[in-house]
């Protein structure tokens, strides 16, 4: 059980940034994901945090096999799945075991399908639609996703549901295949604060009842609350800090993580605190800064940061951060 069942090593994805000029030879590249190492254990929840443009969504697409990595390896249950194509992935049941929940529940459901059609479709695709227990599965998925009783929802269309319900439908469409991993890409950022908790609690419940591991991708660490076991902070295509939720929140080591945590709003006016507001925005991933990629925005950068790329420094067994100030 404790064997690491999803393992990412040195994963890179470069996109061509348009064609090179007429007289220039080398194409410019977007370094969307630039050497990511990550492990996910069974029924573990990892929060993958970073600003837009840090490559977190690309990383999710790479894990799903919806984009082909430039370099590196992805192993699932000991099997190398880095470069498998669509049909190989389907054959090896990866398309069943790894599911994705997208950000926008308004966009990720086909408006012309009923909820029943939406939930049945994955079964159809995997040749599981002709089994006698099909209807049972569909209903169970809906009810496990919190849409009870399922009968009320089967004949409805997405536009008749609220944002939170739609997101539950997306989760149900993933659950019906009994997945082992759910990649949730900003699943609550489009929802009102009052219903965000319902989706987060739903995912938290599923990892207990169904032992599903979750990679929760978000730009707002605050929205995850304490639902995640571990946090991985991503900056410009690389993970700069990883640790358990408590370690990272209470004792962040990387200056970027410190800043990110300091700007999370605290809903208590008596606890107004100094925020570390980084200037500027995430640089363009076409031109990655030299040395430590965070140095141009880092409030505590020293001269050597410009020159050398910091390695992952072990803070303790479960907590690592890539910052030169930690190297002793």
Partner 1 sequence: MEILTQKNAAPPSSNYLLEFWRKFQRNRMGLVGLGMLTAIILVAVFAPLIAPHVPGSSLTIGVSDIYKPPSAEHLFGTDDAGADVFSNFIHGARVSLTVGFFAAFISIFIGGLLGIVAGFFGGRVENFIMRFTDVMLVIPELPLMVVIIALTKPSLLNIIFVIGLLGWTTTARMVRSQTLAVKSRKFVLRARAIGSGKAHIIRRHILPLVMPILVVQAVLVVSLAVLNESTLSFLGLGDPTTLSWGQMLNYAFGRGAMSTGAWWALVFPGFGIVWVVLGLTLLGQGLEQVFNPRLDTHHLMPGRPVVTSEAGVKPVKPGTLLDVQNLSINYVTEGKPPARAVENISFTLKEGELLGLVGESGCGKTTLMLALLRLLPSAGQIVGGKVFFSGRDLTALGEEEMNEVRWSGISIVFQGAMNALNPVRTVGDQIAEAIIQHVPTFPRDKISARVTELLDLVGIAADHKDHFPHQYSGGMRQRAMIAMALACNPQVIIADEPTTALDVMIQAQILELLDELRRKLGLAVVFVTHDLGIVAEMCDHVLVMYGGVTAEYADVDIIYNEPRHPYTQELLKAFPDLTKPKKKLSSIPGYPPRLDALPAGCRFAPRCPAAFERCHIEEPALHRIGANGHLASCHLIAEKR
Instruction: Please report whether residue 66 would count as binding partner 1 according to CB under 8 A.
Output: yes
Minimal distance, residue 244 CB to partner 1, in Å: 12
Instruction: Please report whether residue 200 would count as binding partner 1 according to CB under 8 A.
Output: yes
Stretch that binds partner 1, among 19-27, 187-195, 206-214, 299-307 (CB under 8 A): 187-195
Binding residue for partner 1, selected from 55, 69, 122, 291, defined by CB under 8 A: 122
Q: How many CA atoms lie within 13 A of 187 on its CB side?
A: 31
Minimal distance, residue 266 CB to partner 1, in Å: 6
Binding residue for partner 1, selected from 13, 56, 89, 253, defined by CB under 8 A: 89
Instruction: Please report whether residue 253 would count as binding partner 1 according to CB under 8 A.
Output: no
Instruction: Please report whether residue 126 would count as binding partner 1 according to CB under 8 A.
Output: yes
Secondary structure class of 159 (helix, strand, coil): helix
The number of residues that bind partner 1 (CB under 8 A) is 76
* Residues sharing a CB contact under 8 Å with residue 55, sequence separation 6 or more, in sequence order: 13, 31, 32, 33, 34, 36, 234, 236, 237, 238, 285
Phi and psi at 76, nearest 5°, equal -125, 120
Binding residue for partner 1, selected from 195, 312, 315, 326, defined by CB under 8 A: 195
Q: Which of 108, 59, 72, 68 is nearest to 89 (CA)?
A: 68
Residue with Cβ nearer partner 1 (152 or 300): 152
**β-bridge partners, 310:** none
Pairing of strands 181-185, 98-101: parallel
Binding residue for partner 1, selected from 27, 79, 266, 302, defined by CB under 8 A: 266
Report residue 98 as tokens.
Answer: 């790894």
Minimal distance, residue 194 CB to partner 1, in Å: 5
Q: Which of 237, 272, 267, 266 is nearest to 249 (CA)?
A: 266
In the sheet that holds 6-16, the strands lie side by side as: 29-40, 6-16, 71-76, 79-80
Instruction: Please report whether residue 79 would count as binding partner 1 according to CB under 8 A.
Output: no
Binding residue for partner 1, selected from 173, 232, 322, 325, defined by CB under 8 A: 173
Binding residue for partner 1, selected from 21, 78, 111, 132, defined by CB under 8 A: 111
Stretch that binds partner 1, among 14-22, 133-141, 189-197, 320-328 (CB under 8 A): 189-197
Residue with Cβ nearer partner 1 (53 or 313): 53
What CA–CA distance (Å, rounded) separates 71 from 73? 7
Instruction: Please report whether residue 170 would count as binding partner 1 according to CB under 8 A.
Output: yes
Instruction: Please report whether residue 107 would count as binding partner 1 according to CB under 8 A.
Output: yes
What CA–CA distance (Å, rounded) separates 221 from 265? 10
Residue with Cβ nearer partner 1 (11 or 94): 94
Instruction: Please report whether residue 196 would count as binding partner 1 according to CB under 8 A.
Output: yes
What CA–CA distance (Å, rounded) separates 14 from 34? 8
Instruction: Please report whether residue 181 would count as binding partner 1 according to CB under 8 A.
Output: no
Q: Which of 291, 289, 305, 280 is nearest to 236 (CA)?
A: 289
Minimal distance, residue 147 CB to partner 1, in Å: 9
């Amino acid at each position: 059980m404790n064997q690491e069942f999803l393992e990412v090593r040195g994963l890179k994805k470069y996109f061509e940034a348009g064609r090179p000029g007429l007289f220039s030879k080398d194409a410019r590249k977007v370094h969307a994901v630039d050497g990511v190492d990550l492990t996910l254990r069974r029924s573990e929840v990892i929060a993958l945090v970073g600003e837009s443009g840090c490559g977190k969504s690309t990383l999710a697409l790479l894990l799903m096999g919806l984009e082909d990595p430039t370099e590196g390896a992805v192993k699932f249950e000991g099997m190398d799945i880095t470069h498998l194509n669509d049909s190989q992935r389907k054959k090896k049941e990866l398309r069943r075991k790894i599911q994705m929940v997208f950000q926008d529940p308004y966009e990720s459901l086909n408006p012309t399908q009923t909820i029943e059609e939406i939930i049945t479709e994955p079964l159809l695709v995997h040749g599981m639609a002709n089994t006698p227990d099909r209807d049972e599965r569909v209903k169970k998925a809906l009810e496990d996703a919190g849409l009870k009783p399922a009968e009320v929802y089967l004949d409805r269309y997405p536009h008749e549901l609220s944002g939170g319900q739609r997101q539950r439908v997306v989760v149900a469409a993933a659950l019906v295949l009994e997945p082992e991993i759910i990649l949730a890409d900003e699943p609550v950022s489009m929802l009102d604060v009052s219903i965000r908790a319902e989706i987060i609690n739903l995912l938290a419940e599923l990892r207990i009842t169904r032992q599903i591991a979750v990679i929760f991708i978000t730009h707002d660490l605050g929205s995850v609350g304490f639902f995640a076991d571990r946090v991985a902070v991503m900056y410009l295509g690389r993970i700069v800090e990883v640790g358990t939720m408590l370690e990272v929140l209470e004792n962040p080591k990387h200056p970027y993580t410190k800043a990110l945590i300091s700007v999370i709003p605290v809903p208590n006016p008596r606890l107004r605190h100094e925020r570390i507001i980084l200037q500027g925005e995430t640089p363009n991933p076409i031109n990655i800064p030299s040395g430590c990629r965070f140095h141009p925005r880092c409030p505590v950068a020293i001269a050597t940061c410009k020159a050398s790329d910091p390695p992952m420094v072990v803070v303790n067994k479960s907590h690592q951060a890539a910052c030169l100030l930690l190297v002793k």
